[in-house]
Amino acid sequence: MTNPLLARWDTPFGVPPFAEIDESHYEPAFEAAFEAHDKEIEAIASSADAPTFDNTVVALERAGSSLERVGAVFFNLTSTDTSEALQDIEARIMPRYANHMSSLYTNQRLFERVRQVYSQRNALAIEQDGVPGSDRRELLEELHRRFVRAGAALSDADRQQVATIDEQLASLQTRFGRNVLADTNGFELLIEEDADVSGLPGSVLEAARAAAESKGKSGYLFTISRSSITPFLQFADNRELREKIYRAYVRCADNDNDANNREVLRDIARLRARRAKIMDFGSHAEFMMDDRMARTPARVRELLDNIWRPASRRVAEEAAALQDRIRADGGNFALAPWDWQYYTEKIRSERFGLQDEQVKPFFLLEHVRDGAFEVAKRLYGVSFEAVDVPVYHPDVEAYRVVDADGTFIGIFLTDYYMRDSKRGGAWMSHFREQSNLDESIRPIVINCCNFPKASPCLLGMDEVRTLFHEFGHGLHGLLSNVTYPSQSGTNVKQDFVELPSQIMEHWAMEPEVLRGYARHHVTGKVIADEVIEKLRAAETFNQGFATTEYLAACYLDMAWHSIEEADCPTVSDLERTAMESIGLIDAVDPRYKSTYFQHIFTGDSYSAGYYSYIWAEVLDADGFEAFREKGLFDQDTALSFRRNVLEKGATEDPMVLYRRFRGRDPEVGPLLASRGLTEDQ
């Protein structure tokens, strides 16, 4: 029987035939894809022809298409709709996959061919057929960098050590994510007494009741998924239950069970430190910065410190105000982390007159999604049309994306609801990336969120921003217009990738945009201008907390990746030392504690890189000023952003692209102003 993962997909737009794929297909498909890729690599490495850009660099771009296709399906499903069987396969495949990629980038014959082409890089044609060739120069530079960073230039013994470390890391990182998912699914707060849900809005209770019913239970079910725990901490009057669910959240994968990540993450940190030393770097942080815009950990710390100073002053003021409010309400306890959101919500409601129950009905999921689509249409001329294609889960919806002139751009999938088979958080991924190497390949992009599945699904403001954020990533993938697959869309430096997503968040709160999508889900009434004014006025409220909890996680990330292998502290010791060094107040915890910090421990890309959100926020806040100056939907500005950022992928240095769009280097002032952290705010 033909393996559908390896066969030609005779489906609309080449979407994977999900219904034909079962778990038994993956391992044989991977083995066949590994074998095919090995043969392609061997043909390039053993060629008797002198190495050239085309027969070496471009040939490598063409190689591995089968592995890319199989991997895209498998790794997307292990994130979005996993099972015990898929997790077991993943545990077996990841070390094999890591070993395969390591053997590619440490292949000495192949590296010698790349090295010879690289030695002639200055002579590489700047133009080809009249087309600027900066993408070819960047492609060669990046390919050579991958080989060097994989250890290709090391001695045989060191190279083998790096390969072994990469294989061990692949297994440990998979285990880390699996443990987080298991512990997340393992905690349930089931409340049966109505008195214990006092203070919680009706929409939150409805979602909690639906969650309980989905498990065959009665009452109200809350979990430590962000979309469930956040409203509970904001509104639940029962302080004891707030503490219970909060402690469960911060102890995720840090309990005395089989899902404990304390030693797993220390092993990851030690192995990364050992690999960095072999690669002649002082730390894993230095190793990772070498391939980022920031370049050095010192520059990252300088940025973090410059924002930390005003943020820490502001959070101290906020804490004092909350403590005053506790006393005013008759409380005789010290402000604790599980109190912060509850009392903040009280003050927010009173100061700005914003009641969650009055606002959320205006943010129906479908309306917010359509609002994001409309922003893309007005900025870039693209339209999203619902289309019937194969999907992997009933929650997934599909859209055909077309340009202003009717040209087909790609397929956009949305998967917005939480479920036990889906990892937490929100992200953008792809089943196929855009390229124009041998033919025009149109992308298949997916946005994933974890909103509570309720009818109607009403979003809070953080969730609205999340949807717009991931949509920005989606546009980066959809509007990519590059020749080479490895340069497509979001395949940019880690601290540049958040620019398109974060700049998109700005439009979500613009009055002109809000009036278009913020309509009452029952009456259809457009949100009132006075409510919009209050929402915008509240944007800088509690930013001391929001900024310090995020920055604290950045410092924690940098601390783990600055250690020596032989001097790896315990989780509790490192967390305590890292937080004491910045003076984080007791009432605030880092956004993520170590044992469930999936950004940095389930893969290398965000390790020593969680700072990239704030680095990119400097860019997005500064970049959005261009739209404020020239017009929210100014076509020249939008076209410049599309041409110089969204379409370019990794074809040029990111700072060059930003300067071309903005006309100058970014400035930090707009970021501080947008967060309300300037002296006069």
Q: pLDDT for 319-375, tens place per residue? A: 999 999 999 999 999 999 999 999 999 999 999 988 777 899 999 999 999 999 999
Domains delineated in the chain: 12-105+107-150 (1.20.1050.40), 187-250 (no CATH), 272-352+542-681 (1.10.1370.10), 361-524 (1.10.1370.40)
- What's the mean per-residue pLDDT of the chain? 95
pLDDT of residue 354: 81
Q: Answer yes or no: are the C-beta atoms of 409 and 402 closer than 8 Å.
A: yes
| Least-confidence region, from 125-134, 166-175, 494-503, 582-591 | 125-134
| Residue 610 three-state SS | coil
β pairing state of 220-222 and 127-128: unpaired
Q: Token digits for 42? A: 């061997």
Q: At what angle do helices 365-380 and 461-478 cross, to 10 degrees?
A: 40
Classify residue 255 by its DSSP letter: S
Which whole number is the average pLDDT over 132-160? 92
Rounded distance between C-alpha atoms, residue 254 and residue 558, angstroms: 20
pLDDT over 70 for what percent of the chain?
A: 98
pTM: 0.89
pLDDT of residue 124: 65
Which is catalytic among the residues 90, 286, 318, 470? 470
Burial class (CB in 10 A: 0-12, 13-18, 19+), 488: buried
Q: Token digits for 403? A: 């340009």
Give per-residue pLDDT as tens, 251-279.
999 999 999 999 999 999 999 999 999 99
pLDDT of residue 598: 97
Show the beta-strand stretches assigned E in 403-511: 408-417, 427-432, 444-451
Is a pLDDT exceeding 70 seen at residue 128? no
Classify residue 443 by its DSSP letter: P
User: Facing residues of 415 across strands?
Assistant: 448
Of 189, 577, 158, 199, which is closest to residue 355 (Cα–Cα)? 199
Q: Answer yes or no: are the C-beta atoms of 207 and 452 closer than 8 Å.
A: yes
pLDDT of residue 507: 98
Which whole number is the average pLDDT over 311-320? 97
Rounded distance between C-alpha atoms, residue 502 and residue 611, angstroms: 14
pLDDT over 90 for what percent of the chain?
A: 94
pLDDT of residue 132: 54
- The structure tokens 């924002």 sit at 307
| Residue 127 three-state SS | strand
Burial class (CB in 10 A: 0-12, 13-18, 19+), 210: middle
For residue 463, count other CB atoms closer than 10 A to its CB: 25
Is a pLDDT exceeding 70 seen at residue 613? yes
Q: How far is CA 266 from the centre of its chain?
A: 23
Q: In which band, very low, low, confident or very high, does the pLDDT at 227 lie, cut at 50, 70 and 90?
A: confident
549 is catalytic: no
User: Facing residues of 447 across strands?
Assistant: 414, 428
Give per-residue pLDDT as tens, 555-600.
999 999 999 999 999 999 999 999 999 999 999 999 999 999 999 9
* Residues contacting 593, CB < 8 A, separation 6+: 250, 252, 254, 556, 575
